Amino acid sequence: MLTASPGLPPTATPGNPSTTLANDLPIPLRKGKRSRTAHPLANSLFYQYLCPKYRAFSMSLSSVSIPNTYCETLRHPAWKMALDEEMSALIEGGMGACGGTS
């Protein structure tokens, strides 16, 4: 009995043409969900040992909201302005809308 290789759909076997289709999947779908580290830095960072300047900086980071989508970015005036500045810089630098030089 033939079995599927790990990471391939159950119907795909090494000698089956559907294996090629599995290789055409986007990388995130092929690799699957990754687990996070068991020991994140946040669990071992003690603010009391930081100098006041770094403590204030590190605590301010947790209050910053970073948009995850383009639509969220446009809802926040400061993020929209930063996006507009970056786009202007790309256009002025010759990158244009397609990513190529003009």
The string of pLDDT tens digits covering residues 51-98 is: 899 888 888 887 778 888 989 999 999 999 999 999 999 998 887 666
pTM of the full predicted structure? 0.37
* Contact between 1 and 13 (Cβ < 8 Å): no
Q: How far apart are CA 43 and CA 31, in angstroms?
A: 27
Q: Per residue in 29-52, pLDDT tens?
A: 777 777 777 767 666 677 778 889
Q: What residue segments make up the domains of the chain, in order of their start?
A: 41-92
Q: Are 73 and 83 in contact (CB under 8 A)?
A: yes
At a CB cut-off of 8 Å and minimum separation 6, what does 79 contact? Answer: 67, 72, 73
